[in-house]
Every structure is written in structure tokens, then in C-alpha cells.
Structure 1
Amino acid sequence: MSPDDVASEGNDSVTDNGDGTVTVSGVAGNGYGDSYFVDGDVISMDLDESKWTIRYGGEEVGVSDLSLPNKLVIDGSNAPRLASDYTFEVSGTARKSAALGSVNDHDTISDGQISGRVIGGKDGFRFSGEITAFELDGPATVQVEDGS
């Protein structure tokens, strides 16, 4: 079976929660799976990984690789002509979030270490675990939300 053969069926549902999020639920088994196109961030997932295989971008991943419940936003919009450089580290996984801020080449993520720069805009990240280090040089503000 190829990934192109996997699709959701009538016993699966996508529910708009009215707050900008959706809930996806369904049933799969007997050699059949489900697939979905996600435009945004996965913030939680309830799945028994001992019974199911999750693939993202053609690679096998775990729930923790996809569901990053915490948010960090570096907001430089209060100083449109001034740069703010930042670095932070997390004990888990981090991923850039286009839903929370811009995605550009100046931002890097490597082994839980994140660095970047904002000039009059926002950079947003989703992450798991805890923030273990943080530095900000510039006038940007920082917003952190613990979603766990």
C-alpha cells in the first residue's frame, strides 16, 4: 500500500471548533489508514503509538514529533526599524510556525537550539518540553504559552 492509497472515509470526521482549531477523529484498521492535509500546527494528538504508525513527509514519526503544544512568539512590530536578535533552547523539539509568525532564512533550528532576528515583524515557534535558555538583544517583546 502506498501513501497515495490512504485516505479518510465516511467514518472519519473533521470538526471546526469555532476558535481557529479543528478536531479530527476517525477509525482505521484491518490494513487501512487515514491521511489528512494539515495547514497549520498539530497541537495535540491522542493515539496509541504501539498500535499505529504515523508518517509525515514520507517519514515515520512519533506523536511528540508532530504535536508541539507550547508557543513562543518574538514580536518586533513595536519597533519597525530596529533589529532584535534572539536565541533560545528547549529540552524537547521546536519547529517554526507560519501561523504564529514569519518563516525566513535568518532563523535556524538545530538540536533544540533556535536563533533568529526580527525587524518590525514576528517570529513564532511551537515547541515541546521546557525553555532551558533564552537571550534577546533588541526591543522585541516575547510571548510564551504553555499548552501542556
Structure 2
Amino acid sequence: MTALGVAGIGASSGATARSLARMLTVKGTGEYTEYALSVSGDLAEQADLSGEDDVSGSTATGAVAAGRDSYRFSGAITGFDLSGDATLLIDGERTDPADLSTRTLAIEGVDTYTEYAFSASGGISPRDGLTGEDHIHADGKRASGAVAAGRDSYRFSGEITAFSMSSDAKLFLDGVEVDITSLLSHTLAIQGTGPRADYSLHVSGGIAGKNGHSGEDDIDIERGRVDGAVGGGRDSYAFSGDLLDFDLDGDADVFLDGDRL
């Protein structure tokens, strides 16, 4: 079984099981199965566990066979590993353990100050490289920060559901460098035809520059808005959700997911 390596994140403040609203239960199916879990808040045993089960801060390890182990917790589940077969219940609902597998996302600066924000369907926890500018929100499912020459790395579970970035950076998903289009499903390109053309756009999800940007192009990652300009070049963006608004002052060719508008 792989250790989670996130002990101490959101360490328990002395909360008791009775004071914690959420519950996680690992129910054995007859096969001896080890597990490890971590949460973004407090964690406590629901009832007396066996000698194989241990709670330390916001993490727990243990094993089940034919019985069940239950925990009370707050925040989000930031990691869950299972060595064999067991039934997982979260707040009374059966959950596929694969949906809680721990994954990683790293944002590496390329000597340009770049702000970013992202959310995940499961929990997010810090891995390494974070500074005072980097923040995991109270719900445990959103994070924001900035990089220049360093690297910010996070653990998360589930899928990346939104991602925004104000400038250039390298992205590593589960240790593999990926293009921004692997996190954002749509592309929008503005191809200049010579004279200057100003544009603005607004999307409902995340947005990031793809290529061709200059100092005149401004990405507001909080609002999902961009103001920019092209001359004879091409500005490209990747985004998720819907294109809510697009304004163009001047002549340019515009392509949405490769199709000319």
C-alpha cells in the first residue's frame, strides 16, 4: 500500500467525533484489506478501532476484513489508498475508491510572473513549493497562487474541474508535462489581418493563454475575462465552459475550436 505522505495537513485541533459532521466508513468484504486516508480538516474515530487502525492528525491508516472502520471528519477527503477489496461509504453513500485516488498537479514558472487558480472534484492539499501567495480555499476544493521561477505542487483527488492562468507556465499532471488544452476543453484564436484590432471576451469557466500574447493582452482569471489586441499576429486561448461574450473592434478572423466564426 502506498503511503499518502500528507500527515499534519489540517491537523486535528482536538475535535471529537461528535463535533464532526461528515463520516467515512470502510466496510470489509471478507478479504484482508489495508487502507490509508487523509482529510483537509479534522479527523477522529467514530468508535473504538482495532490495534491495526491509527489516527494521526488529519490522516488515518488501518485494515478491515469482515468488519468496518468508521471515521468522522471535516473538510474534504484529500487522499485515499486501498490495497484490496472493500466498500467505501462517504456520508452514507457508496463511493468508488478510484474516485479518491491521490493525484498531483504542478505549476512551474518560466521567469514570468503568472497567477493561477484551479479547482478539483475531490480535495486539494499542498505538496511542496507553496509560499504566502498560494492558498487552498476553505472548502478544500479550490486553490490559487502565483509562480515566477519556482514550482508550486499540489495533491488532489478526482479530476481538475476548472483551471485559469494569467500568463505562461509549465504544467505537470501526475508528473507528466501537459499542454494547457489537456485541462481546458475549448480553444479560441484571434488572427489579425494587419491593422490593430482590439477584442474582449468572457467565459463561464477557466481560461489561459495558449500562445501569441503580448503585454497588451490581459487575462483576469478571477472573472474569466480577457482584453487584448492583435495586429498581424495571432492570439490563442484555451478555456472551459461557455463563451459568454466576445467583442471585436477592428478586422480579425476568429476561430472557435478550429471553426471560423
Gaps of 5+ in 2: 6-80, 83-97, 108-151, 164-179
Equivalent position of 1:52 in the other structure: 102
Please tell me the residue identity of whatever aligns with 1:51: S
Please tell me the residue identity of whatever aligns with 1:89: H
CA distance in 1, matches of 2:225, 2:249: 16
User: What's the TM-score once normalised by structure 1's chain length?
Assistant: 0.57
User: What's the TM-score once normalised by structure 2's chain length?
Assistant: 0.34
Measured after TM superposition, the shift of residue 126 of structure 1 is 0.3
Equivalent position of 1:108 in the other structure: 218
Equivalent position of 1:128 in the other structure: 240
2:102 partner SS: coil
Superposed CA offset, 1:87-113 (max 9, x none): 010000000002xxx121111111200
Q: How does 1:37-116 map to 2 (within 5 A)?
A: 50-57=100-107, 58-60=152-154, 63-64=160-161, 65=163, 67-76=183-192, 78=193, 80=194, 82-98=195-211, 102-110=212-220, 111-116=223-228
Equivalent position of 2:48 in the other structure: none
Please tell me the residue identity of whatever aligns with 2:214: N
Measured after TM superposition, the shift of residue 53 of structure 1 is 2.9
CA distance in 1, matches of 2:99, 2:153: 15
CA distance in 2, matches of 1:134, 1:54: 34
8 A contact 1:49–1:63 mirrored in 2: no
Q: Which runs of at least 4 in structure 1 moved beyond 4 Å after TM superposition? A: none
CA pair 71-59 structure 1, distance change in 2 beyond 3 A: same
Superposed CA offset, 1:10-33 (max 9, x none): xxxxxxxxxxxxxxxxxxx89xxx
CA distance in 1, matches of 2:99, 2:224: 23
2:213 partner SS: coil
1:120 partner SS: coil
Root mean square deviation, CA, Å: 2.3
Measured after TM superposition, the shift of residue 145 of structure 1 is 1.1
CA distance in 2, matches of 1:131, 1:59: 29
CA distance in 1, matches of 2:241, 2:209: 15
CA pair 117-49 structure 1, distance change in 2 beyond 3 A: farther
Aligned length: 96
Superposed CA offset, 1:42-78 (max 9, x none): xxxxxx66212322221437623261010000000x3
CA distance in 1, matches of 2:218, 2:227: 5
Gaps of 5+ in 1: 2-28, 31-47
Equivalent position of 1:145 in the other structure: 257
CA distance in 2, matches of 1:136, 1:49: 42
Higher strand share: 2
